[in-house]
Amino acid sequence: MKKATKQFLTGLLSFIFVASGFLMSSHVAYAQENTAGLKFNTLMIKESDSGTVIADLLAGQTPELKAGTTYALDVEYSVPASLQFSPTYFKAYFGNGLYVKTLPGATFTPGHIESTGFEELTVSPSGTGTSPYGYPQAGSEKSRSGELEYKTKNSLTNVSSRNEICFTVDDAYLNQSTQQILTDVLKVSLRTDTTPDVDAHSYNVTSNQSYQYTFYTNQSTEVVSKGGETSTLNVQNVGGYSLTAAHSKTQVDIIYPSDIELVGLEDKALYHKNGTIVSTVENAGLKTSTVEWDEPGSYSSGLSFYPHVKVPSNSTRAKGSSFNVIIRNFKKTIWNDNPNVGRTSENTQAVMTVTIIDGQDPEKMTLHALVDSAPNWAFKKNDSYNVRLGSLLIKNELVTDTKAKTLEFDIDQSDTAIIRGVTIPWHSSMAYGQIHWTSADGRSGTADPNILQKSNVSALITNTALGLGINDSIKSVKIDLGVIPGRYDGVQPMRDLLVTSNPNAKYVSDEFYGWSYIPAGIYGSWKKGTQADVVSTAKLYTTGEQPSADETYTLIGKSVAPRVVNGVGSINKTQVLGGDGFTISGRIDDANWDWNPLQEPVLYMIMPEGFSYSNLQLTNGTLSSPEYVGEFEKDGVKVKAWKYSVDIGQETRGQYQPDFTSKNMNVSFDVKTDKRAKRGTYHINDFLGITTQDFAEIGAVIKAEKWDRSNWNTSKYTAAFGNAINSGKDMVSLSEGPGVAVSQAYGITAQAELLIPQTGKSYIYDATSEDSKTDTTPILGNGDKAVMRIRVRNNTTTAIDHATLFVPLLNQEANFGNAFMPEGVTKLPLQLDHVDVTDNFTVKYIHIKNGKQFAINTAPQPADYEEVTNPNDANMLMLVSQVAVAPDDGGRVDITYKVPEELTRSYNNLKDVITPVLDYDINGNKSTLTKEPAAVSFFTDKVETISIPVEKVWQDHDDEYGSRPQSVRISVYADDEKVAEHNFVEAEQWKHTFVDLPKIKDGNEIAYSVREESMSSYTATITGNQTQGFIVTNTYSVRPVTIKPTVKKVMQGNPEQNSTFTFHMKALNQNSPMPHSAVGSMATATVNGAGTSEFDTVTFTVPGTYKYEITEVNDHVTNYEYDTSVYLLTVHVTDVNGQLVAQKTIEKAGETSNDIVFTNTYRAPVNPTVPTNPSNPGTPSNPGKPVKPGTPVVTSPRKQPKATPKKSELAKTGVRIDAMVYVSVLLLMIVTVLKVVSVGINKRRQ
């Protein structure tokens, strides 16, 4: 039977497995793919930065785009249930004129990604291959066009990507039409492994920009003689690069007077030859010639035109007259543009002027005397730099040399500056005479021209080359220049800073170019603390003649505020995913010709939430240690800042040093992102600020470089920083354009970090290894604070309807399970200091019920906790969103903990590791996630201590005897070693608590005792212990003093026999001690006849004044007259260092007496009689016996309650009955199964 049953069950199971396998394989083999529900729901183009919708593609809108703006292709599509677990793909195509900047997963490398609804990049855009002339260059950013494809994340039925697929327009394809159409340039579709191009769409894009050419007149004037030909006039195209159609013509018109001959129009930029004059039209005395060049097809910029026009030798034009040459109507044909309008210069033109000169020894020079405004750092800082303090531009307008010339400088007439150098015109053909010079301190000399430093159009004479010190001023220079060669042009290098066609244009406010651009310049710095104009004169005249007033020029250097100018930098990546990093590098100053003196540089590292920096490096300067400035908030994002001073001494960075060398600073650092970083495009000015020390105090300003000014300053942060950074003023940064796009993996993040407010350092716990745990756990000390910051961010494409964040408090030992305490019970008690949340969250305090624990990814339910109003009663925070959390939005929670001051070394190295739990709801789909942990530890040198209260109790009848001292010293001993002492005084109620006593020594608890300094008149009794405290009881106790009062009997007369006389000493004070033989307050002494007697000893035990009355008892002995004197014995007992001392005084009738003397007189009887005996004194009554205490009342004992009965036998019987029912049911089930099996076996046998 057993064997048959086993065989039957085995067969049945085998059949089930085989059948299920067959059914599954049949489904795979024969299921028909249904793509009906695979379709796009959203195809939207938006501006990436602003989120502005540009076009809803599914609604039929055509996007109008412009170059220089980054756009996002937002996509959402549905996957039918039939394909939910099958591979599906999203495809996009970016044609000529568009290129991709960022992608989901922040990578262009095919493979697995962490992003949105995609799990893999299967095809990466790498160029279309259809653009001509090798454009775009393979591997360049602009080559990221063509096809891209993503594989859908398995199991999703709705897929979306927002602000991840970002692209821009390539201006190389654009013409001047604002309605240019880029045809079918954007295509999207879906597919499966077997069905291509599901729900395919193709879209045109319109460029709404007009790309035209303009002209820049590089050389606007020229002087020729009759018969001469122009050669230096120059006009350049401005308009960028473009793709030009092959076999097209590039054309331009040149207009000139009819009597002037056009020799040719030469291009020196693209074609490098004269163009072909294809037509000439004459009208109203002017000729218009159309010149063209054959275009082979290229990716190229505009042309650089050199008109060659000739003045006939027999021209009737007057000497000194001039005429204009005009360039206009430039046109290039753009490759494959629609409409085919190309790019033209439209209505712009360039005008050049030719001046005619004629006669014997002609000479024509143009000179500009300039007023240079230069930054004055020396007024408030140091004079360790050079700027230009006035200059003279010189040009020989003719092709012929000038006469020999002499140049003289009379420099800095008011001695305002340190003049370290001057420049003179230089050309390789020039021959100089000796250099004659004087200095401000009265020296003079000559120097050979070989000291000159030569470059471009200038030669530099420095003070050190003349033999002067680096801070010795040059006062004058005179040098014979020789002839100035024909066409020497010392004006042209400054053409973009000065309208050289205007002889009155003499003010230059930007220090852009160096000494080699200035043919006659004065260089140096203001003296410290000065700012007056530096006024000099320059004279350029024919050698051997006296300079005229027309040949004398005033050069001025004007002081302006110190300027901090931006640098130029780059970011080594264009896109990253949260968790990745990038590197920033660049040059802080003088990055692109800009003259930028900088003193006492200061750098600020600025890190928005989710970013951190490392590996900060700087050349030509020493960075200080970072100073944490603080944390600020901008647009709901926390931003931290650190300050670095740069030590360069009193030197300057940038052009020029006092010796005319250039010292510049290069900076680089790494930036790391994490899941808290907000998605978006970031630039260097989001992370770096550059300024100078005491920026506001010295009146400094910031200034953009002329050529590089993209994202050049930190003005975005100024309001948030306030006066905490750079005195509330903007700073410069490194100019940079593209930025880096930061994306985040699809999901809801609630990342926790532990922030130390004092240092700004943050920690994200890493439990990978013991070393990583240690590195990511801050160690706090007593009184330190730590902020657990949890940033909730919605990195999905759907709003979170509801979000609740649970965060454990650390005010007690607790273990709420792996959901909250991944490393078990919390051991380090921390106080809750305060809680800050963003406006979209509200704070609730809850108390998790005892014994409740939660598994990973589970959250407390209402039955698990009680909501409390007092934070001290809470053991967990519950933070509830008040509004829906939109995509890219979120919230922040800051929970500040404080280490109690009383924590001691017993808590050293204990650690709390906790994790927040996020519970959220999206469209009714609820999810609970245990997020990343944060950890904190503790260490202190603070010894675990105890406090011991000590109280002194006096037993001296409230100091009745005045024996208490003013203070008493009591000491505390630890194992017989005194460790503390205190003077106890009445003002402190004779109490004191000894605090901060170490509890443990060498692992053992210290035994403490107290001792009191010895004190006369008191004995001390110490009770108690170090836990409950000690009581020191002081009982008054002195050494007693005794006296024996003496009485003297004197007899007058001669009795026949002695009689016995009795004396009484009566205590007059109730507390006066008496001899032990006394009866009550009466003591007795007797004398037989004359003589002395002593009362028994009186013992005094406490100080005081005691009075006694001593009298003689009249016993009525016959023939005696008794002395009735009454003596007052006063005993003054005092405490002398614990020994009582008695001082006696005797008074009789108010007068002091030395002794107590009683004198009796005996008178012999005349008729003697039998004397009568005095009566015996009455016997004093016996004191009454004490009353016996009453007999206690005896109450009848209560009846004892009956013992609680044991569980009844009926209950036991019930248990047995229940067990029997279970056994019966079980047996019935077994029988039934056996019957079923038996029937199956019988059927099989049949």
pLDDT tens for each residue of 801-842: 888 999 999 887 889 999 999 999 998 889 999 999 988 899
Mean pLDDT value across residues 997-1002: 86
Q: Is residue 613 a part of any domain in this protein? A: yes
pLDDT class for 317, splitting at 50, 70, 90? very high
Residues 821 and 953 in one domain: no
pLDDT class for 1245, splitting at 50, 70, 90? very low
Contact between residue 797 and residue 886 where contact means Cβ atoms under 8 Å apart: no
Q: Is residue 1239 a part of any domain in this protein? A: no
3-state secondary structure 1148-1208: ECCEEECCCEEEEEECCCCCCCCCCCCCCCCCCCCCCCCCCCCCCCCCCCCCCCCCCCCCC
Residue 1006 maps to which CATH number?
2.60.40.1140
Statement: residue 23 has pLDDT above 70: no
Peptide bond into 135 cis (omega under 30): no
Statement: residue 235 has pLDDT above 70: yes
Q: Which domain holds residue 911?
A: 748-938
Contact between residue 686 and residue 637 where contact means Cβ atoms under 8 Å apart: no
Q: What is the pLDDT of residues 1008-1028, one digit of tens each?
A: 999 999 888 888 999 999 999
Residue with the bigger pLDDT between 23 and 710: it is 710
Residue 990's SS3 state is coil
Mean pLDDT value across residues 379-395: 94
Statement: residue 702 has pLDDT above 50: yes
Q: Which domain-ending residue is among 336, 357, 378?
A: 357
Counted domains in the chain: 7
Statement: residue 1223 has pLDDT above 60: no
End-to-end CA distance of the chain: 16
Mean pLDDT value across residues 902-926: 84
**CB neighbours (10 Å) of residue 914?**
25
Mean pLDDT value across residues 1082-1099: 92
pLDDT class for 1216, splitting at 50, 70, 90? very low
Token representation of residue 503: 């002889």
Res 1229: pLDDT:
62
Res 17: pLDDT:
42
Residue 643 maps to which CATH number?
2.60.40
Question: Measuring CA to CA, which residue among 267, 273, 264 is closest to residue 325?
Answer: 264
Statement: residue 1194 has pLDDT above 80: no
Q: Per DSSP, which regions of 397-471 are E strands?
A: 404-410, 417-425, 435-439, 444-447, 453-455, 458-462
Q: Is residue 30 a part of any domain in this protein? A: no
Residues 895 and 764 in one domain: yes
Residues 631 and 488 in one domain: no
CA distance 612 to 581: 9
Mean pLDDT value across residues 510-538: 92
Residues 218 and 344 in one domain: yes
Contact between residue 944 and residue 1006 where contact means Cβ atoms under 8 Å apart: no
Query: Quick one: 949 exposed, middle or buried, by C-beta within 10 A (0-12, 13-18, 19+)?
Result: middle
Residue 19's SS3 state is helix
Q: Per DSSP, which regions of 49-152 are E strands?
A: 53-56, 64-65, 71-78, 88-94, 98-102, 111-115, 118-123, 146-152
Q: What is the pLDDT of residues 1095-1118, one digit of tens each?
A: 999 999 888 899 999 999 998 888
Res 502: pLDDT:
58
Q: Is residue 1192 a part of any domain in this protein? A: no
Residues 546 and 582 in one domain: no
Residue 985's SS3 state is strand
Statement: residue 684 has pLDDT above 90: yes
Res 595: pLDDT:
66
Q: Is residue 1206 a part of any domain in this protein? A: no
Task: Please state, for a pLDDT cut of 90, what percent of the chain lies above it.
Answer: 64
Residues 1113 and 1027 in one domain: no
Q: What is the pLDDT of residues 616-651, one digit of tens each?
A: 999 999 999 999 999 999 998 999 999 999 999 999
Q: Is residue 523 a part of any domain in this protein? A: yes
Q: Which domain-ending residue is among 560, 589, 612?
A: 560
Task: Please state, rounded to an integer, the average pLDDT across all residues of the chain.
Answer: 87
Res 1110: pLDDT:
94
Question: Measuring CA to CA, which residue among 303, 289, 346, 350 is closest to residue 325?
Answer: 350
Q: What are the C-alpha distances in Å from 117 to residues 89, 100, 556, 910, 926? A: 11, 19, 67, 42, 18
Q: Which domain-ending residue is among 157, 173, 207?
A: 207
Q: Is residue 1245 a part of any domain in this protein? A: no
Token representation of residue 1002: 């060498």
pLDDT class for 1003, splitting at 50, 70, 90? confident
Res 1039: pLDDT:
85
Res 840: pLDDT:
86
Task: Please state, for a pLDDT cut of 70, what percent of the chain lies above it.
Answer: 89
Statement: residue 1079 has pLDDT above 50: yes
Q: What is the pLDDT of residues 27-85, one digit of tens each?
A: 333 345 789 999 999 999 999 888 899 999 999 999 999 998 999 999 999 999 999 99
Statement: residue 1075 has pLDDT above 80: yes
Contact between residue 524 and residue 419 where contact means Cβ atoms under 8 Å apart: yes
Res 12: pLDDT:
43
CA distance 687 to 965: 72
Res 1212: pLDDT:
41
Residue 787 maps to which CATH number?
2.60.40.740
- By mean pLDDT, which of 21-35, 703-717, 744-758 is the weakest? 21-35
CA distance 419 to 462: 9
Residues 1047 and 1132 in one domain: yes
Question: Measuring CA to CA, which residue among 912, 603, 939 is closest to residue 763?
Answer: 912
Contact between residue 855 and residue 928 where contact means Cβ atoms under 8 Å apart: no
Cα torsion through 225, 231, 232, 237, rounded to 10? 140
What is the identity of the amino acid at 162? R
Statement: residue 1181 has pLDDT above 80: no
CA–CA–CA angle 319, 324, 327 (5° rounding):
155
Residues 350 and 243 in one domain: yes
Residues 404 and 499 in one domain: yes
CA distance 838 to 893: 7
Question: Measuring CA to CA, which residue among 843, 845, 808 is closest to residue 829?
Answer: 808
Contact between residue 486 and residue 400 where contact means Cβ atoms under 8 Å apart: yes
Longest Cα–Cα distance of the chain, Å, equals: 202
* Highest-scoring range by mean pLDDT, 248-262, 1106-1120, 1197-1211: 248-262
Statement: residue 1199 has pLDDT above 70: no
Statement: residue 277 has pLDDT above 50: yes
Statement: residue 914 has pLDDT above 50: yes
Q: Is residue 464 a part of any domain in this protein? A: yes
Q: What are the C-alpha distances in Å from 829 to residues 756, 778, 909? A: 17, 15, 12
- By mean pLDDT, which of 674-678, 794-798, 1219-1223 is the weakest? 1219-1223
Residues 676 and 819 in one domain: no
Res 417: pLDDT:
97
Res 6: pLDDT:
45
Residues 427 and 540 in one domain: yes
Residues 762 and 869 in one domain: yes
Which residues, 6 or more positions from 318, have their beta carbon under 8 angstroms from its beta carbon? 356
